[in-house]
Amino acid sequence: MTFAGCFSDHPGLDACLGFAPAKINLTLHVTGQRVDGYHLLDSLVVFADVGDQVTAGVGDALTLAVAGPQGAGLPVGDNNLVLAAARLLAPGRGATLQLEKNLPVASGIGGGSSDAAAAVRVLCDLWHQPLPEPQSLVALGADVPVCLSAQTVRMSGIGEVLTQVPILPEFFMVLANPGVPVSTAAIFRTLPQKANPAMPQSLPVLPNAVALAEWLAQMRNDLEQPARALAPAVTATLSALAAQPGCLFARMSGSGATCFGIFATAPVARAAAIALQKSEPQWWVAPAGVFAGF
- Residue 47 gets which letter from DSSP? E
Report the 10 Å Cβ neighbour count for 39.
18
Q: Are 44 and 203 in contact (CB under 8 A)?
A: yes
Terminal Cα distance for the chain, rounded: 14
State residue 76's pLDDT score: 84
Q: What is the pLDDT of residues 217-227, one digit of tens each?
A: 999 999 999 99
Rounded to 10 degrees, the C-alpha dihedral 167/172/174/175 comes to 30
Burial bucket for residue 53 (CB in 10 Å: 0-12, 13-18, 19+): buried
pTM: 0.94
Residue ranges in 9-102 assigned as alpha helix (H):
81-89
Burial bucket for residue 286 (CB in 10 Å: 0-12, 13-18, 19+): buried
Q: Which of 14, 23, 36, 278 is catalytic?
A: 23
User: Is position 194 annotated as part of the catalytic site?
Assistant: no
User: Is position 14 annotated as part of the catalytic site?
Assistant: no
Q: Are strands 161-163 and 153-157 parallel, antiparallel or unpaired?
A: antiparallel
State residue 95's pLDDT score: 97
Q: Which domains does the chain have, with CATH numbers?
A: 4-24+48-150 (3.30.230.10), 166-288 (3.30.70.890)
State residue 6's pLDDT score: 60
What whole-number distance in Å separates Cα of residue 171 and Cα of residue 28? 19
Q: Which of 42, 52, 143, 222 is catalytic?
A: 143
**Within the chain, which residues score under 70 in pLDDT?**
1-13
